[in-house]
Amino acid sequence: ALSKAINVINIDAHTDLRNTAEGRHSGNGFSNAIEQGFLHQYRIFGLQQNYLNENISQQIQSSENIKTAFFEDILVDDRNVTQQWTDFTADLSNPCGLEIDLDSIENILSSAVSPSGFRINDIRKILLGNQNPFSYLHICEGSVALADGREDVTTGKTIAYLLSDFIKALLPRIYPQP
């Protein structure tokens, strides 16, 4: 729709940069976007080193357009998560999109649920204090029930919080105060 590549920040434990030869799936969406010229700058905030293989690590290191903030580094940094987010995203230009992969948040039911990740209120603070006028928000990988029988009815409420916080942060730009 914009006829040009956009920038994207992905809050995710994974890169979503797997090989496109595998066919389109949730693990290679950003690889496809890069190959097709739709993605300029790609930032991954909260990438967990345990999920990073050598090929993808080399791809990140060799690209000027891919930047990461590892979750392990975020944990040991003296700055709070919101300040780290602000510093990580400050130089991105518009248009810019935001993806929040729910498996980056601890104990959210997903195919890759983890006891280690961001706290939901950290992500909410990031959204509520955000200064970037994002063009879109994509929330993915959450589930209220999995095929193995696990269920969590709070996943929907989590998504509702994130969506309403995203909108609240946009309101001052949509309806500026006199």
Say if residue 20's pLDDT is above 80.
no
Banded pLDDT at 42 (limits 50, 70, 90): very high
Convert 136-161 into a string of H (helix), E (strand) and C (coil): EEEEECCCCECCCCCECCHHHHHHHH
Residue 175: per-residue pLDDT:
66
Question: For 6-174, CATH number?
Answer: 3.40.800.10
Say if residue 124's pLDDT is above 90.
yes
Residue 25: per-residue pLDDT:
58
Which residues on adjacent β-strands are paired with residue 161? Answer: none
Q: Specify the higher pLDDT residue, 19 or 158.
A: 158
Residues in Cβ contact with 148 at an 8 Å cutoff, skipping those fewer than 6 apart: none
